[in-house]
Amino acid sequence: MILSDVGIQTRLNSKELLIDPLDDTCIQPASVDLKLGRQFVIIKHWGAGILDFTSEPNYHRVEADEFLVPSHSFVLATTVETLRLPHDLTAFVEGRSSVGRMGLFIQNAGWVDPGFKGQLTLELYNANNLPILLRSGRRICQVVFCKMDQKTKKPYKGKYQGQKGATGTRIFMDQENSAK
């Protein structure tokens, strides 16, 4: 069941769900708009060979109020807001339609597990032939909350728990890489 604005507000008021800071005007009928933060991360491709799942990419980090995403380029960004989900809510993140209509695709691997705490890292891809100028503080995506049939026995405790800012991949920490 997807939470309505009333359900979202009830969970926020009871402090079961945290969105901080929260601009009340961002609460939509069935979602909450989140704003773009000031941290951006790109993979340094100059001098790099290939990317694989066993080693950490070399990143270039930028903190700025504005960031220009070149045509057909990929960048990680962060939300202003920190989220904390209770053990009976999950969420998914979608780009805002108005942003997508400019050719900017937004994802965060699509899913936020129950028990997650932290800022969201957004995966942005400019599919347009023109650069897109991003400004921090603008509404960039929306988060939709879904009530689960019951509380999970195993809330999220993964490698992105507590993340702050735009966080690069940690796939190199996966158990498959240590099973050699």
Domain of 96, CATH number, reads 2.70.40.10
**C-alpha pair distances (Å), 47 with each of 27, 37, 50, 56:** 44, 29, 10, 15
Under 8 Å between Cβ of 106 and 94 = yes
Domain tally for the chain?
1
Span 118-161, pLDDT tens digits = 999 999 999 999 999 999 999 999 999 999 999 999 999 999 99
Two tokens, residue 5 = 């604005």
Q: Which of 56, 63, 66, 123 is catalytic?
A: 123
Predicted local distance difference test score (pLDDT) of residue 89: 98
Span 31-84, pLDDT tens digits = 999 999 999 999 887 666 788 888 888 889 999 999 999 999 999 999 999 999
Reported for 151-156, long-range contacts at CB under 8 A and 24+ positions apart, including other chains, are 151/86, 151/87, 151/88, 151/114, 152/87, 152/88, 152/114, 152/115, 155/87, 155/113, 155/114, 155/115, 156/85, 156/113, 156/114, 156/115, 156/116
Q: Which domain holds residue 172?
A: 5-178
pTM listed for this prediction:
0.92
Active site residue 123: yes
